[in-house]
Structure 1
């Protein structure tokens, strides 16, 4: 029964593409008060991936939550991907996730219990692979299906990496190729072949656990993961927080081959179009870069880590990525002190 059930038919979006638009989110965040607790080191003021709370002189608690609607119909695969995406926020801050709680919503009158069990089993499998304990969670009966995790992790204070700590002259390194959102859009439109589906599953379920190792390097100054706002959106968050400009080289940005072809055929996600409309005024694209714009704003589900590091550390950073299974890691650009455009792609 689980093999034939269409989970994606139960929601209007899927994966990180169902995030609230950056325009609406920006307005909402303006009304969140500044916390008064002195041990809360980071909330939502720099658009970082997680909150930070000082436990003691040796430990920072990293707290985050992430959930979304089905990106594929396979319930076990959906659970695996959603869990990997939630854990990624802790890795992106330089931490090691230790504890997770399930967050699940399902229209129980429409979804067989076996399907719901497989979703949570997929999430548990990912957490077991990451050595993260799952201690229950919360579920509701609702009109649209969704699943994810609330996650807590730990890091040493010296290993925390934020959006705001990038430095002029840093080199930008990207861990995974772009195009996950376009593959997901093609899946929804029944235009994705078996090889493309395999790529979607592989990239979207690959743990970004290398972030905890990268964080031990003093030469790594900032990190984030590329998710629903695409490469340009999350890079702009880093540039704004660090008050820097980024120049990317279009030929160096890794792209999923089939996603390039699908985008050329007009298969793009609505969220990617929305992202571009919001960020375009802060981005300058060369003629060459305009050809890949849909991939630059494509919403990634559990996309790659974006690392800002000292130039002399690039080889060490890339070697760490490769030894952890990220064979398509690439150096994609640099950060500098210029002002406009905030991000240029040449």
Structure 2
């Protein structure tokens, strides 16, 4: 039996309670659990726990800092190689969201070794290595455990010039908001999990790296960004606004959404994580006339390996709103 045949006959998503970044602990519960944990601090810790950013950043010298992050999740697609590619792109994204360059990664694997063939795990790892190798980031070893539920991701170390750092507490009022990938990945991944339908456009987006968008944002002199993953556009925007002390206005008609995701929404394939995201941010949300609950579900949809949300205009990507003085998010 080949790895591909094994993956098709043993649907990987069927071995997971959730899929991709939608399996994250809900944002409200997570914040309650870690409240009061302070970790290590010091003058050279440029980004730590306070802002809830995408990665930690520690200065080594005036022109060099190290970026450190880890990200892993349960299967989001049934194809083992594609799952590996998606998980790697998602882990690398945290470094790009800080304006950095990944330099080395290690694998993080949980595998039900008595249930799923080891050759499937090899395919997952191969997918991850291929994506990282494509941007010159070597994957050197890692850690594996025997786990009843398959999980895969990476711990990634990167570098960044502290003078050109992107962070989520640096937003200021009066600037455009740019989104670099369409929404709807959570809806399509949930439909895939429930029905087995494959959506190549979703796989293409999830394996597409945020490197070019990050480079363009830094080149434009921008300072605030985050990636849009499991907490959805609204959740990650709320975290950025809260950390920066600003508000935001979203023009829902300007937000790019995958066409197939709108069909999945119509047919009821809404991930539980997307609904939890909306419930969490709703107290800070004002919906304008004509904004429907379905509109808000899309904006809260739990993404896996989504795009960057950047404060400022990034050439080549759509502007979806702007920051404002005050607090809260208004959708119009």
TM-score bracket, normalised by the shorter chain, equals: over 0.9
Change (3 A) 1:253 1:215: closer
Structure 2: 5+ residue stretches without partners: none
What secondary structure does 2:315 align onto?
helix
Q: Does 1:208 align with 2:203?
A: no
Deviations 1:62-117 (A, max 9, x none): 00000000001111000000000000000000000010000000010011111010
In structure 2, the partner of 1:333 is 321
Question: Alpha-carbon deviation of 1:276?
Answer: 1.0
Which runs of at least 4 in structure 1 moved beyond 4 Å after TM superposition? none
Which residues in structure 2 correspond to 1:106-255 (within 5 Å)?
106-190=111-195, 192=197, 194=198, 197-217=199-219, 219-255=221-257
Number of residue equivalences: 326
Change (3 A) 1:289 1:262: same
Question: Alpha-carbon deviation of 1:5?
Answer: 2.2
TM-score (norm: length of structure 2): 0.95
In structure 2, the partner of 1:27 is 32
Q: Distance in 2 between matches of 1:265 and 1:142?
A: 33
The RMSD of aligned alpha carbons is: 1.3
TM-score (norm: length of structure 1): 0.91
Deviations 1:192-220 (A, max 9, x none): 3x5xx101101111100124413433541
What secondary structure does 1:334 align onto?
strand
1:258 to 257, 260, 263: 260
In structure 2, the partner of 1:300 is 303
Q: Distance in 2 between matches of 1:288 and 1:200?
A: 28
Asked if 2 retains the 8 angstrom alpha-carbon contact of 1:171 and 1:331, the reply is yes
Structure 1: 5+ residue stretches without partners: 320-328
Asked if 1 retains the 8 angstrom alpha-carbon contact of 2:166 and 2:218, the reply is no
Q: Does 1:344 align with 2:322?
A: no
Question: Alpha-carbon deviation of 1:191?
Answer: 6.6
